[in-house]
Amino acid sequence: MKKDRKYNIKTTDKKTLEKWFRLMTLGRLLDDRAPNYLKQAIGWSYHAPYAGHDGIQLAIGQVFDRETDHLFPYYRDMLTTLSAGLTAEEIIYNGISKDLDVAGGGRHMSNHFAKPEWNIHNVSSSTGNHTLHAVGVGRALKKYKTPGISICSQGESSVSEGYVYEAINGASNEKLPVLFVIQDNGYGISVPKKDQTARRKVADNFAGFKNLRIIHCNGKDVFDSMNSLVEARKHIEEKEEPVIVQANCVRIHSHSNSDAHELYRDDFELNYVREYDPLAKFRRLLLRYERFTDEELTVIEEEMKQVVKIAHKAGMAAPDPSPDSIHDYVLPEPYVPEKYTDGTHQFEGNPMKLIQALNETLKAEFRHNPDTYIWGQDVAHKEKGGIFNVTKGMQKEFGKERVFNAPIAEDYIVGTANGMSRFNDKIRIVAEGAEFADYFWPAMEAFVETTHEYWRTKGQFSPNITIRLASGGYIGGGLYHSQTIEGTIATFPGVRVVYPSFADDAAGLLRTCLRSRGLNFYMEPKALYNAPKAATPVPDDFEVPFGKARIRREGEDLSMITYGNTSHLCLEAAQKISEEDGASVEVMDLRSLIPLDKEAILASVKKTGKVLIVHEDKVFSGFGAELAALITDEAFEYLDGPVKRVGSTFTPVGFNRILEAAILPDTEKILTAARDLLQY
Amino acid sequence: MQKIAIVYSFNTMKTSKIAKRISDAFGKNAVEMVNVEDVTPKQFLKFDNLICGTATWFDGELPNHWDEFVPELEDMDLSGKKVALFGLGDQKGYPENFLDGMGILGDILEAQGATMVGFTSTEGYTFESSGAERGDQFIGLGIDFETQGSKNKERVNGWVEKLKLEFQ
């Protein structure tokens, strides 16, 4: 506490002190009361008490400006959110998971306080991953030259997560207006901080970063916390660079109600953390410096008890969410093409390669919508655009503000897309998720998180992102350059998954992705980028609706259901069967896996009675397993034979061409399976 | 020599022990024990020679009993006062902020015009960083019960002899 700083027990006006005391008292009453709801089996089964973090949490809420800022509180931030403006009722609605919960109607875990309407964001339980989101929205604040800062709050142990490093590195590199507040209570559940990193003050691990200021404060002290955050904010606004504030706190209680801290903390420690209770200290200061009398403070304390009583009654009377609502807000309504309603066309121009179709559609959409952005590894150079040149010429035409490279940090690429799209609903982001689909795995946590957002916030936040990935094999790429990952991706509700195999569909699906709200996963069969067989005429304005399969070859005797690289293999096999066996095979290119054109699949099965599902991914647990189950479940009586599948072996994809050929599906394997099936 | 105030928290264990040892070394009539938990500015300013004792808490903070008195200290004119500090720390367990509490207190007292006395050499201590360092000296006496408790007596006695001269 230095006397020249803005807030001081002697000089801060009484009205402000009273406001703080009210908030701190109210917060503590709610924090202390929360476990009772669990004991009475009402709810609040997850409660991470904040007692001991009072100074810094009050300060975060007080420096947050809901008109300009974005706040990412973590699961211990009850007082932060109260101080930022949430009411006692809103805290209780969230705690006991009521439909009126402004974070998302009881969909997210208790003690995850949020109010997306005010940009108090609904964040994950995956500790610290909101650093990426805070940085992403910081990027938007900077690009749109908007006043305001992005505030990210987290515990000190969460800094051990790799994505926190990525986030702070990115904020430093991009010089973004982000305030990282690390609330250090010395423990990650029961793990002491010495087991997390060598330095006791984890923020100092970032001391070598450029464009980054680090401030330490006493998070147990209201004034030091307020002054430090005011100073941090001023620094961010004046120097246009991020700041980390590490606030030393104590954790007076256990980590949460499922933790028993007596098992790993001795009486001495439990006593001294209680002695350092920030609320008790603030009260002592108010009395010692004669800013309030004991009677005045007692009156406030009684008033706050009444506030909690009223809020409790409101909470108990509030409606629960309806079980009928579970399917609401999985995905927002997509853009619906008006001209090409079934995603086909009769255009007869010159064939265009798939890669050119992607490039031209991206450019067209970037011209169409000035709020489009693309980033990824290697995507933005003068003459080069991505490892395969899909984005060639884009930075030249649209500039560095909209088309830019990302560090080799896949989680950062996807996580900051999530964050940036929070800035407004007009923004459309294309994230090249990784150089190759096989490298996408580090981004999985950011991806999974993003699939939750729309549902978890009850439709209040839609991440409008298209993740593009060069996918699949047949290029002799081996592990990490040959795999296709839709079998995994399609298991997550909250994302659309598309996988074109021809240039026109590639263009049409990409346009629809870029005009839709929500998260799209766009898989590009890279072996077809320049393949003549995938080249087609492409209308300039072509659009393909989600969930519309396309019959690429009509047939009567057998249905091949496929997508991506294997569409072409199926067409070759169908032609051969027609020529050599005289049988008529229908080839259906799904184009879109989620949503799935169930109607078209069932119609084809009913027509032919025989189904061969073909995809490049592994047969075992591949997407085809879901298709096979669907068909046997809903069209069993129309089948004249078993539902057969052709795909990769249950192995990685080998590098040697002999191994690759043995592993991936090919025309011969499809022919063999189809002929077997035709025998039934 | 005028009476010396030893200012510290009476509710401490180790700090109190050192305060008592200092008091014994000066002779009981030479000092007055003052509890920082309820000291008023008037009581503090009554003395021209003061010895202030503090531990370091957490990762380099003043204990609450001192921290809550800081707003008073920051409004005092300490010109003409001689102040010596003793600090308690754990150089092995907390080498990154050894004796920081003493350093913080020293900064505040110096800023208010106090003449700091009782500096000691950092030799014989092993730590990574300390807010109490002033060149190759500590701003006061460093005491480490955890690692070098056996040296307490010798360190206190030597320091008191030095202070007897500096408080003249």
- Taking the CA of residue A239 and the nearest CA in chain B, the distance in Å comes to 27
Please say if the pLDDT value at position A553 is more than 70: yes
CA distances from B116 to A298, B102, B113, B131, B166 (A): 42, 12, 9, 15, 10
DSSP state of A327: T
DSSP string, A367-428: HH-TTEEEEETT---SS--STT-TTTTHHHHH-TTTEEE--S-HHHHHHHHHHHTTS-TT-E
Any residues with CB less than 8 A from the CB of A593 and at least 6 apart, and which?
Answer: A486, A490, A497, A498, A499, A563, A623
- Taking the CA of residue A285 and the nearest CA in chain B, the distance in Å comes to 7
DSSP string, chain B: ---EEEEE-TT-SHHHHHHHHHHHHH-GGGEEEEETTT--HHHHHT-SEEEEEEE-BTTTB--HHHHTTHHHHTT---TT-EEEEEEE--TTT-GGGTTHHHHHHHHHHHHTTPEEE--EE-TT---S--TTEETTEESSEEE-HHHHGGGHHHHHHHHHHHHHHHT-
First and final CA of chain B: distance in angstroms? 6
CA distances from A118 to A500, A625, A634 (A): 39, 43, 46
Q: Can you tell me whether residue A237 is helix, strand or coil?
A: helix
Find which of A183, A249, A272, A288 to mutate to test the B interface (most B CBs within 10 Å of its CB).
Answer: A288
Beta bridge partners of residue B54, listed in sequence order = B87
Q: Is A626 exposed, middle or buried (0-12, 13-18, 19+ CB in 10 A)?
A: middle
Find which of B61, B76, B108 to mutate to test the A interface (most A CBs within 10 Å of its CB).
Answer: B61
Which pLDDT tens digit goes with each residue over A22-36?
A: 999 999 999 999 999
- Taking the CA of residue B68 and the nearest CA in chain A, the distance in Å comes to 7
Q: Which tokens go with A668?
A: 């011969």
- So what's the pLDDT on residue B168? 79
Q: Which residue has the tokens 């853009």?
A: A335
CA nearest to A10 within chain B: B71
Point out the residue among B64, B75, B94 whose CB comes nearest to the CB of A281: B64
Please say if the pLDDT value at position A1 is more than 50: no
Please pick, among A108, A481, A568, A615, the residue that the annotation labels catalytic: A481
Nearest to A648 by CA among A658, A661, A663: A663
Confidence of residue B128 (pLDDT cuts 50, 70, 90): very high
C-beta atoms of A2 and B68 within 8 A: no
Question: Over chain A, what is the mean pLDDT?
Answer: 96
Q: Name the domain count of chain B.
A: 1
Mean pLDDT of A556-562: 98
Which pLDDT tens digit goes with each residue over A586-614?
A: 999 999 999 999 999 999 999 999 999 99
| Chain A residues in contact with B58 (beta carbon < 8 A) | 248, 250
DSSP string, A63-126: H--TTT-EEE--TT-HHHHHHHT--HHHHHHHHTT-TT-TTTTT-SPTT---BGGGTB----SS
C-beta atoms of A276 and B70 within 8 A: no
- So what's the pLDDT on residue A386? 80
C-beta atoms of B74 and A281 within 8 A: no
Can you tell me the distance from the alpha carbon of A321 to that of A326, in angstroms, rounded to the nearest whole number?
A: 9
Please say if the pLDDT value at position A2 is more than 70: no
Which pLDDT tens digit goes with each residue over A507-525?
A: 999 999 999 999 999 999 9
Q: Which tokens go with A664?
A: 């991936």
Please say if the pLDDT value at position B33 is more than 90: yes
| Chain B residues in contact with A284 (beta carbon < 8 A) | 68
Confidence of residue A384 (pLDDT cuts 50, 70, 90): confident
In A, what residues contact B, Cβ < 8 A?
1-3, 8-10, 184, 199-201, 216, 218, 221, 248, 250, 275-276, 281, 284-285, 288-289
- So what's the pLDDT on residue A435? 84
- So what's the pLDDT on residue A3? 58
Domains and CATH numbers, chain A: 14-319 (3.40.50.970), 354-534 (3.40.50.970), 550-678 (3.40.50.920)
Could you tell me what percent of chain A has a pLDDT over 70? 99
Which pLDDT tens digit goes with each residue over A45-62?
A: 999 999 999 999 999 999
| Chain B residues in contact with A285 (beta carbon < 8 A) | 68, 71
C-beta atoms of A248 and B74 within 8 A: no
Our CA angle for B160, B161, B167, nearest 5°, is 75
Can you tell me the distance from the alpha carbon of A55 to that of A72, in angstroms, rounded to the nearest whole number?
A: 18
A73, A75, A81, A87: CA torsion to nearest 10: 150
Residues spanned by the domain of B131: 4-166
Please say if the pLDDT value at position A257 is more than 90: no
C-beta atoms of A289 and B57 within 8 A: no
Could you tell me what percent of chain A has a pLDDT over 90? 96
| Chain B residues in contact with A184 (beta carbon < 8 A) | 59
Confidence of residue B1 (pLDDT cuts 50, 70, 90): low
Which run of H or E residues covers position A21?
helix A14-39
- So what's the pLDDT on residue A245? 98
Mean pLDDT of A121-137: 97
Can you tell me the distance from the alpha carbon of A339 to that of B70, in angstroms, rounded to the nearest whole number?
A: 74
The question of whether A130 is a catalytic residue gets the answer: no
The CATH number given to whatever domain includes residue B73 is 3.40.50.360
Which pLDDT tens digit goes with each residue over A302-359?
A: 999 999 999 999 999 999 999 999 999 999 999 999 999 999 999 999 999 999 999 9
C-beta atoms of B68 and A275 within 8 A: no
Q: Which residue has the tokens 């509490």?
A: B101
DSSP state of A335: P
| Chain A residues in contact with B67 (beta carbon < 8 A) | 1, 218, 221
